[in-house]
Structure 1
């Protein structure tokens, strides 16, 4: 059995299938780890979701920011766009969205020595904290109050982890860290504006990739992220 990790398919179904063919993926015996952002930028988001749903017993999925935006669009919290319209108008929309809502934000395999999150793991979290906080927002997304909860998540972001903050702000930080995090300052504040490669200008501003953040708590597993 082979285990393959693939990130950011983003609805590029043809390229995704070509990659699976290149690695000779066999869904009957191999496993896929999908590191989030299944949909949105490519033209075949519906086909991508339907394929992954069809092999759901052989894959591990963590959610990315584009997947959360799709769920929010399904609830009418965010506007749709041409790349996800086919999903929202599909007869299988509810089935696919419900399946997405049941996916993780953090997957851990102790035997293999790996864990996976779309954006990464907050530099302030050890593995136990990361698992606990991932479970916390997974339960919110899977609950009957998911629509209300998502509305609160999209009101504004949260760049700092504060145990004394209200529950909604803590959830906002957790969701942002697992799905949107790229750079952070030395005091662990997250920055969501920078999206390119590290530069001297960013370093002079005190910004580093989250995994290079000073005093980052070490995770004893190797981290796969998108």
Structure 2
């Protein structure tokens, strides 16, 4: 039995199947951990979402910002972006079943000293606190009143965590940190504008995983989201978005021994891999 963590799929279903053949994935024995952004921008979001759902307990997926964006658009709270490729899901006969399944996925998964989240964790959050906070958002998404949250999910404020946050402000900042964050200050103030490489951060900011003395540093964080960061494996950090959508690679890491498996991706027409 092996556990493989795989970077952002974003509807790149063909590449996913090629990678699964490479690692000889056996759903009866092995486990897949998917770091979120299952859908959008790639060519086969519907096929990807259906396949992950059908895999049942052999796959653990956390929610990414593109997955949540699908819920916002499906709820009628925002139009699709110009480059979105989710219309096949919105028009599918099993649309409601797929959206219901997606709403019931996790924001954070913790197991065997690994913690998987799409984007990151604020420096003040221990793993235990992050689990509690993730459950708050998961409960809101799974509720029969979930549209009340989904309709107010978008927004950049508040940008700094306080334990006293309540209501939609509290849910939004948890969601933004775990699905959108790249840079923050040592005090946990997030920046959502700059999406480039980590060696040229906005003044006063650092990549979230480089904040000194962050409370989650004793656990290996597995994430995606940041294609400009690329594949990056450190003692307590694994970034797996190696830019498949942009003509990079789709990457898998076997957690038992950290062996890396990759396949080249064609990427979108006219796309260039991050350099």
TM range (shorter): over 0.9
Report the counterpart of residue 33 of structure 1 in structure 2. Answer: 33
2:199, 2:181 → 1: CA distance?
17
1:19, 1:178 → 2: CA distance?
26
2:211 is the alignment partner of 1:209: no
TM-score by length of 1: 0.93
Higher helix share: 1
SS in 2 for 1:153: coil
2:60 is the alignment partner of 1:60: yes
2:92 is the alignment partner of 1:90: yes
Check 1:32–1:151 CA distance in 2 against 1; reply closer, same or farther (3 A cut).
same
2:35 is the alignment partner of 1:18: no
Report the counterpart of residue 107 of structure 1 in structure 2. Answer: 109
TM-score by length of 2: 0.77
Tell me if structure 2 keeps the 8 A contact 1:188–1:213. no
2:6, 2:66 → 1: CA distance?
15
Report the counterpart of residue 220 of structure 2 in structure 1. Answer: 222
Deviates more, 1:122-131 or 1:149-158: 149-158
1:31-87 Cα distance to aligned partner (Å, 9 max, x none): 100110000010100000011111022111100000000011111112135510000
**Gaps in structure 1 of 5+ consecutive residues:** none
1:105-135 Cα distance to aligned partner (Å, 9 max, x none): 00011xx321100002211100111000000
Higher strand share: 2
**Following superposition, which runs of at least 4 residues in structure 1 exceed 6 angstroms of deviation?**
none
1:181-201 Cα distance to aligned partner (Å, 9 max, x none): 10012321011111111234x
SS in 2 for 1:134: helix
**Gaps in structure 2 of 5+ consecutive residues:** 225-275
Deviates more, 1:138-147 or 1:119-128: 119-128
Deviates more, 1:157-166 or 1:143-152: 157-166
Tell me if structure 2 keeps the 8 A contact 1:37–1:66. yes
SS in 1 for 2:9: coil
Report the counterpart of residue 251 of structure 2 in structure 1. Answer: none
State how many pairs are aligned.
222
